Amino acid sequence: MSKADLIFIKMCRDILENGVSSEGEVVRAKWSDGTLAHTIKKFGVVNRYDLNEEFPIMTLRPTNLKAAIDEVLWIWQKKSNDIKELNSRIWDSWADENGSIGKAYGYQLSIKHKYPEGYFDQVDRVLYDLKNNPYSRRIIVNMYNHEDLNEMNLYPCAYSMTFNVTGRKLNAVLNQRSQDILVANNWNVCQYAALVHMFARVSGLEVGELVHVIADAHIYDRHIPLINELLERQIYDAPKLLINPDKDDFYKFTVDDFVLQGYQKGTQIKIPVAV
């Protein structure tokens, strides 16, 4: 039985039973018909995934792993803010006429900074430290640069990662300021679980835990019936993630290097998205 599903179910029930509604408050998001998109939310949700035990992909409904990994490679490997370099359309609403999302995400990771060992961007510094100083408590990436927020078409949602090696296991904390639980939760979990797998592989480490911290974990009003349907679905065993054993360079990974073996899942549902 997939523990990722059990974590999702427990989180959703907690939000629905103990969360706070935004009804009566002024909110930014709207539905396509112009109606205000209200939410029910919990503050400070923390979920832990043991990546050594299973790959945390939901089985209640499908998560498109290749598309999720494509986006995380777009940010962390290509360090791009150009949607023309992304193979999905998920960022189209936030791009300008040139296809740029501004100084967000990949742009922030591409900026080089001076260290005693030389100049590194944030990703290359993580890779350097994991190989040369793995027990450092300073292996952190942060994309929430206040100086550039006014030039970002969307403030980063998942904005920082802290990497920590314990024994020979690579653990990570993903910090997220806000999350649409139905649309994005398992998408982000799978992305950053895959990233930890990649960083562990190229650093000669084993995978450990992914800890996901969500400041504002919310379910939109029109998503509540869909969530309730998911909570009653059958849970399958977690699939096994297979990664191309020939890849040991982070910049050589492609989406085709990841395969799910034995992925059973429920049918997909159509989800309205608030913007």
Q: Output the 3-class SS for 22-39.
A: CCCCCCCCECCCCCECCE
CATH number for position 189: 3.30.572.10
Asked if the structure places residue 70 within a domain, the reply is yes
Asked if the structure places residue 239 within a domain, the reply is yes
Average pLDDT over residues 246-256: 97
CA distances to 41, 214, 246 from 143, rounded to whole Å, are: 24, 16, 30
Asked if the structure places residue 266 within a domain, the reply is no
Which pLDDT score, from 0 to 100, does residue 275 have? 85
pLDDT in tens, 101-117: 999 999 999 999 999 99
Asked if the structure places residue 28 within a domain, the reply is yes
89 pLDDT above the threshold of 90: no
233 assigned to a ligand binding site: no
Return the SS3 of 257. Answer: helix
Average pLDDT over residues 128-137: 98
Asked if the structure places residue 200 within a domain, the reply is yes
pLDDT in tens, 165-178: 999 999 999 999 99
Q: Domain residues for 151?
A: 3-261
125 assigned to a ligand binding site: no
- Catalytic residue positions? 157
120 pLDDT above the threshold of 90: yes
Q: Within 13 Å and on the Cβ side, how many CA atoms surround 76?
A: 28
Confidence of residue 96 (pLDDT cuts 50, 70, 90): very high
Asked if the structure places residue 154 within a domain, the reply is yes
150 assigned to a ligand binding site: no
pTM: 0.97
228 assigned to a ligand binding site: no
Short-list 66, 33, 14, 31, CA closest to 214: 14
Average pLDDT over residues 81-97: 91
**End-to-end Cα, the chain, rounded Å:** 34
Asked if the structure places residue 270 within a domain, the reply is no
- The total of structural domains in the chain comes to 1
Average pLDDT over residues 173-201: 98
In the numeric block, the tokens 């970002």 are attached to 152
Which pLDDT score, from 0 to 100, does residue 93 have? 85
Q: What is the spatial distance between Cα 261 and Cα 246, in angstroms, rounded to a whole number?
A: 18
Asked if the structure places residue 273 within a domain, the reply is no
